[in-house]
Amino acid sequence: MALGKIKADTLEHSTAGSLDTKFVVNGSAKAWVIGSAAAALGNSLNISSGTDDGTGTYHYDYTTALANSNFAGTVTSEVAGTIGSLDNGAHSKTTTNVFVAITNSSASAEDRSHSAKINGDLA
């Protein structure tokens, strides 16, 4: 492959100390998405599709799977007064997709644009 590559286990700053690159590799998001109220994708990384599952419920499939389903996710609604969360109550975590739920202050599902970020291990 013709891509440039720097191999390093440590990054060192002149005064601020050093950082093991495994923190960079393991700590960066492995997938993220900005989705509309109808699951249309505004921007993303490592997502193949969004699915509008119903009012306020969505799921996003990864292009490259995670190694295991023990991932951490952050979901936010992009509209004040509504809450975004991983929809783990209705769906088990898998290595291939993430379920998202948006609710209003009464805990009722509501269609809102949202964003999600997944940290985990890649397969």
Partner 1 sequence: MQTPEFQGTHLFDRLCWAKENLDGVQSDYRVVYEDSVDECAKILVPDPNWMACALQGGILPPVQVYWELAKDEAEEGFTKHTRGYLLHNTEPVEAMTEEQALEYLIMKDCPQHVWRDYDSGNKPKMVICRKEQLPATREWRNAWKISEELATDETVAA
Confirm or reject binding of residue 21 to partner 1 (CB under 8 A): no
Mark residues 33-72: x for contact with partner 1 by CB under 8 A, - for none. Answer: x---xxxxx--xxxxxxxxxxxx-----x-xxxxxx----
How far is residue 122's CA from residue 59's CA, in Å, rounded to a whole number? 19
Using CA atoms, how far residue 115 sits from 6, 60, 78, 106, in Å, is 31, 11, 7, 21
Supply the minimum distance, in Å, between the C-beta of residue 15 and partner 1. 30
Confirm or reject binding of residue 73 to partner 1 (CB under 8 A): no
* Half-sphere exposure for 119 (CA within 13 Å, toward CB): 9
Confirm or reject binding of residue 96 to partner 1 (CB under 8 A): yes
Confirm or reject binding of residue 108 to partner 1 (CB under 8 A): no
Confirm or reject binding of residue 122 to partner 1 (CB under 8 A): yes
Using CA atoms, how far residue 95 sits from 70, 75, 106, in Å, is 8, 17, 31
Could you list the residues that contact partner 1 (CB under 8 A)? 1-3, 30, 33, 37-41, 44-55, 61, 63-68, 94-97, 111, 122-123
